[in-house]
Structure 1
Amino acid sequence: MRFIDEVYEMYKGHFNGDEEDIVAIIVGILDEQSHQDLIKLVTEMDEEELFHMLATYMIEVMKRKVAMDDERPPVSLIH
């Protein structure tokens, strides 16, 4: 994806392999984008990029949902 390539080139001296740094930079950049800018990024993706983006997002959301369910105490059916 050209956008990621450009961000990487711009910040490659700032990355130290720490995931928190990467997350902070990407979230900061995306936060500055308008809805239309984000839609443009998506429409510029090829089919494989779009598939991987959606798959990654859906997998992470499902992991969070499962983790939240695991943290909840079981509901008793006996009253």
Structure 2
Amino acid sequence: MRFIDEVYELYKGHFNGAEEDITAIVVGILDEQSREDLLDLIDEMDGEELFHMLATYMIEVMKRKVAMEEEHSPSTMTH
């Protein structure tokens, strides 16, 4: 995706490999975008990019839901 390539080139000196740095930069950039800007980015994606974006999003949401459920349900194991 061209947008990601441009962001990477702009910030590559700021990345130290830590996921937190990448997350902070990406969230900061996306936070500045309007809904229309975000939809334009999606519109530029080819089918494979769109698939991977949605798959990654859905996997992460499912992981969070499972973790939240496990955190709030009583343990079925007895000690």
How does the TM-score come out when normalised to structure 2? 0.92
> Amino acid of the residue matched to residue 73 of structure 1?
S
List 4+ stretches of structure 1 deviating above 2 A.
none
Matched, 1:23 2:23: yes
Counterparts of 1:40 and 1:15, CA distance in 2: 26
1:5 maps to: 5
Counterparts of 1:60 and 1:73, CA distance in 2: 20
Which consecutive residues of structure 1, in runs of 5 or more, have no partner in the other structure? Answer: 75-79
Tell me the matched-pair count.
74
Counterparts of 1:36 and 1:16, CA distance in 2: 31
- Mapping of residues 52-63 of structure 1, within 5 Å: 52-63=52-63
SS of 1:63's equivalent?
helix
- Mapping of residues 16-55 of structure 1, within 5 Å: 16-55=16-55
SS of 1:17's equivalent?
coil
> Amino acid of the residue matched to residue 53 of structure 2?
M
How does the TM-score come out when normalised to structure 1? 0.92
Could you list the per-position Cα deviations for residues 7-64 of structure 1 after superposition, in whole angstroms to 9, with x for gaps in the alignment? 0000000000000000000000000000000000000000000000000000000000
Counterparts of 2:71 and 2:6, CA distance in 1: 39
Identity of aligned residues (%): 80
